[in-house]
Structure 1
Amino acid sequence: MGNYQQMNGIALAYMGDAVYEIYIRQHLLAKGMVKPTHLHHTATRYVSAKAHAALYRLMEADDLLTDEEKQYFLRGRNAKSHTGAKNTDIVSYRISTGVEALFGYLYLSNQTARIEQLAAWCIEQVESGRTKVNAK
């Protein structure tokens, strides 16, 4: 899968977006949701750029990340993207890319237990209302 240590933030985010999305979809299906429209709208509370930005602020507030994880977040956040932010401001978009890069790094470095821990933590934050992000 390539050497994640040499990968740019956009490539890490590309992988991390898919990894995180799987955990969210799995969670929603386990809750008994089956209608595609409802699944999509509910998933937005967890996977949108605004949700990622809110989650990252909580990660910082709770001092959740290791120094190495913060470095991979920054690699994603600071990466030069050639696509624009859709439905959000550029700051939230860049933070979201950082969160996705973090999950990409964890996946590519085979840190499955840590992914599961962070994904469960993210789900808990959204469901407890700490992110205050509403689906459209």
Structure 2
Amino acid sequence: MDDSMTGNVPFPDRDTVAEKLAALSETDKSYLALLMENAAQDDNLLDGLRRHLDLAAGSRFLNSLKLENLGIWLGTQAPDRLQIRLMETARSSQHPAYQAFRTGLDRSGGLEKAYPPVIR
């Protein structure tokens, strides 16, 4: 009996999420937004994001503008509960792919909206 029959395969798997993040068409955005609505899918989303960033880091051509735009989109669309974990993922590597994604997250202002700074 393989994993798909025993229910041990996470749905969606990280490769599927990575493909959706890479394409980021309107259909993919709808799929990802639906995924972000379910807190039980947070780990699958973040695993897919890490997979996408790792693939981008290993590619011959780095499309930093596309990664930055992904950061902006995720930063504006992701619920508050994901904002810190998105930033942790963006800061987990010094590779330019991760830095471009982090730049987009910073520009989105998602973390600041989720956790406003305390003014004294």
TM-score by length of 1: 0.29
Higher relative contact order (CA 8 A, sep 6+): 1
Greater Rg by CA: 2
TM-score by length of 2: 0.32
